[in-house]
Amino acid sequence: MRLLVTGGAGFIGSNFIRYMLNKYATYQIVNVDALTYAGNLENLRDIEMNPNYSFVHADITDAVKMNRILQSGVDVIVHFAAESHVDRSILNPSTFLQTNVMGTQVLLDAAIKHKVRKFMHVSTDEVYGSLGPTGFFQETTPLSPNSPYSASKASSDLLVRAYHETFGLPIHITRCSNNYGPYQFPEKLIPLMIINAIEDKPLPVYGDGQNVRDWLHVEDHCAALDLVLHNGRDGEVYNVGGNNERTNIDIVKSILSALNKPDDLIQFVTDRPGHDRRYAIDATKIRTELGWSPKYSLDVGLQQTIQWYLHHKDWWERIRSGAYRDYVKIKSPFQ
């Protein structure tokens, strides 16, 4: 099987590539990534010499390059590439529309043209909007995105669905909750708070800190994607959630306590505009149809993640200094 993974130099994509290469000795993976600020080839340093892995430095909005890559023969596209940070989408929505919507359309067109066997679209629970204190997002919950980021992801979900209905492209859409784990870019809540706490810097908590997220370890997410890829039903949406709801302030306090740092590092700051109050996933469909269940409790996963950041100071210091951009070793037949 030959997989084209988009956005494989980012957080979840790099974990997914490692997971698949470890599990399937014969699968070939082509990673296409534009190496934006969030793309870091150091995330794949341990597998860059693997003969089943290759990297193409390209933007998914570049139709000529996407067609050239698919011409070489690809069975499945696993589409992670996106602008992924909600705060950045509030400051500058246009790159989100460009990559998340237009980039997805370019890939969908190329997938049809080259008769790709499956298009796996990695989406988010944020497309469903915000929950009150009770209830869960189901696959049938109407889409109601509140940020430019989630609106762009919802738009791409609808395009993927439309290409299935109109052109018969075989697809799956997965919508998962907040991921955490190794190699997450330190703009997101958990790595940002771990690193700031290690360095005794203030921990900025938006609003009252009572917003709830449903945390999913990235390895559990990879296992879910693997199952959907092999056993998912054509045209179906699968929600993926860790059943680990926590308030932000609770997460931040757990991090401080694990690192033996005082709570007075916490600084409440102005709330994110349009800040979704609560996300919670009902993962019954993927559990019952595909037998998926998460291995990590949040307590275990968070401790493991804190240890990872403590032991990979070089990795995040090179991100903070910008030095990770120098690590571009491009080995590609398509340049």
Provide, rounded to whole angstroms, the least separation between the CB of residue 94 and ligand TDX: 17
Based on CB atoms, which residue is closest to ligand NAD, 35 or 192?
Answer: 35
Compute the least distance from the CB of residue 84 to ligand TDX, in Å. 4
Q: Which span (18-26, 32-40, 185-193, 304-312) binds ligand TDX, by CB under 6 A?
A: 185-193
Which residue in 205, 223, 225, 240 binds ligand TDX (CB under 6 A)? 205
Residue 124 engages ligand TDX in binding (rule: CB under 6 A): yes
Whether residue 84 contacts residue 149, with contact meaning beta carbons closer than 8 Å, is answered with yes
User: Which of ligand TDX, ligand NAD, none sits in contact with 248, Cβ below 5 to 8 A by type?
Assistant: ligand TDX
Can residue 188 be called a binding residue for ligand TDX (CB under 6 A)?
yes
Q: How far is the CB of 290 from ligand TDX (least distance, A)?
A: 21
> Rounded to the nearest whole angstrom, what is the least distance from the CB of residue 170 to ligand NAD in the complex?
19
> Mask 59-98, x = binds ligand TDX (CB under 6 A)?
-------------------------xxx------------
Q: Which is nearer to ligand NAD, 265 or 302 (CB)?
A: 302
Q: Which of 111, 160, 192, 240 binds ligand TDX (CB under 6 A)?
A: 192
Q: Which of ligand NAD, ligand TDX, none lies near 19, with the C-beta cut-off 5 to 8 A by kind?
A: none
Query: Considering the rule CB under 6 A, would residue 244 count as an interface residue with ligand TDX?
Result: no
Q: Does residue 206 belong to the site contacting ligand TDX (CB under 6 A)?
A: yes
CA 208, 305, 223, 331 torsion-angle sign = positive
122 binds, among ligand TDX, ligand NAD, none (CB under 5 to 8 A by kind): ligand NAD
Active site residues: 125-126, 149
Residues that bind ligand TDX (CB under 6 A): 84-86, 124, 126, 178, 188-189, 192, 204-206, 211, 213, 248, 272
